[in-house]
Amino acid sequence: MAKKRVFSGIQPTGNIHIGNYLGAISRWVATQKEYENIFCIVDLHAITVPQDPTELKSKTRELLGLLLAAGIDPDMSTLFVQSHVKEHAELAWILNCFIPMGWMQRMTQFKEKSQKQKEQVSVGLFDYPALMASDILLYDTDLVPVGDDQKQHVELTRDVAQRFNSIYGPTFKIPEPLIPQVGARIMGLDDPTSKMSKSEDKPSHAVHLLDTPDEILNKIRRATTDSQKEVKFDESRPGINNLLVIYELFSHKSRQEIEDHFAGKGYAEVKNELAELVIEGLRPLQERYKELTEDPNEIDRLMEKGAEKVKPVAAAKVSEVKEKVGLARICQG
């Protein structure tokens, strides 16, 4: 049986943190043999909010390096940069014309992000889900692994695909979201009631993948917890719960084992042991990242190889769509 195709995207902005790693990247790595994977660094999504050009370029390269260092194997999975394949923007425009305003106005991520920016909000930010739908639908994707914040966008993708198919006949495969049960929402260390986020720059908010051992230890030691003592998985105590979920995901131990291990111990011990676990868990990735980035051309070569691999697939889908919609082709000869 053919392998199912997985597509996922990640923005090259801010600093990649352990929430991205546990909720997304480590799962992509773990499923490389089971699925046919396509991973995209979504730089066109990044420019929906203001970006510094030099920084955006360097973050794009850094992210590619981090994904490879985390274990994405370019011979098994395809890894490319969104803006290198022009069909993403092209299909997004066409899909725009099949998405009612009302669907877009329901998107909660836009509501949250636009509140932060007020009147500076771009049309691109509003239209972000159409570009994401284009990413997914270009490749006949079966599964879209994302954190639960992105579920609504995958649902919109399904809706627009169904709408298009019902007008023009079968064109797009209807994708399913793949939401992890544990770790879909790692919370901020400084505020465990809000999601760990790349755009939050408070110093103790998140552990980043390239943080030094000292930085990791200090951030985890400073993590907000409550004034109770018992070490238990308990969602009504978000601080300690978040630390234990991170522990669970890095240690691959069961909740029972973890609670037994910490029975009679205090939060300080949880924090110290967790810091050690995270430092050791990230060490191989950090070492591989250092090796990879010693030759700057290597990243560029891999970027180009990835784009060349997906271009024919994207081009075939866009020409099918254009034909169906009635966009005239230049006849040759």
136 contacts which partner out of ligand TRP, ligand AMP, none, CB within 5 to 8 A by kind? ligand TRP
Round to whole Å and give the CA distance between 289 and 66: 6
Q: Please calculate the CA angle 141-175-26 and round it to the nearest 5 degrees.
A: 70
Give SS3 for 271.
helix
Amino acid at 37: N
Active-site residue, 219 included: no
Distance CA 202, CA 195 (A): 13
> What's the min distance (Å) between Cβ of 258 and ligand AMP?
19
Rounded to an integer, what distance in angstroms lies between the CA atom of residue 178 and that of residue 55? 31
* Residues between 125 and 184 with contacts to ligand AMP, criterion CB under 6 A: 146-147, 149-150, 183-184
Contact indicator for 117, 152 with CB cutoff of 8 Å: no
Tell me whether residue 111 is exposed, middle or buried, using C-beta atoms within 10 angstroms of its C-beta: 0 to 12, 13 to 18, 19 or more. Answer: exposed
Instruction: Out of 64, 91, 136, 299, name the contact with ligand TRP by CB under 6 A.
Output: 136
List the single partner that 135 binds among ligand TRP, ligand AMP, none, CB under 5 to 8 Å by kind: ligand TRP
Q: Do 206 and 189 touch, CB atoms closer than 8 A?
A: yes
Secondary structure letter of residue 278 according to DSSP? H
Q: What is the distance between the alpha carbons of residues 310 and 189, in angstroms, rounded to a whole number?
A: 38
Please pick, among 4, 173, 195, 305, the residue that the annotation labels catalytic. 195
Query: Among residues 198, 219, 271, 317, which one is catalytic?
Result: 198
8 interacts with ligand TRP by CB under 6 A: yes
Would you say 125 or 325 has its CB closer to ligand TRP?
125
Residue at shortest CB range from ligand TRP: 9
SS3 132: helix
Q: How far is the CB of 238 from ligand AMP (least distance, A)?
A: 13
Q: In the complex, what is the shortest distance from the CB of residue 265 to ligand AMP, in angstroms, rounded to a whole number? A: 26
**Per-position x/- string for 73-102, each x denoting binding to ligand AMP as judged by CB under 6 A, each - no binding:** ------------------------------
State which residue, 19 or 238, has the beta carbon closest to ligand AMP: 19
Among 126, 242, 156, 231, smallest CA distance to 195 is for 242
Using CA atoms, how far apart are residues 88 and 52, in angstroms rounded to an integer?
22
45 binds ligand TRP (CB under 6 A): yes
57 flagged as catalytic: no
Distance of alpha carbon 150 from alpha carbon 45, whole angstroms: 13
Residues that bind ligand TRP (CB under 6 A): 7-11, 42, 45, 132, 135-136, 144, 146, 150, 153
Residues serving a catalytic function are: 113, 195, 198
Residues that bind ligand AMP (CB under 6 A): 10-11, 19-20, 23-24, 146-147, 149-150, 183-186, 195-196, 198
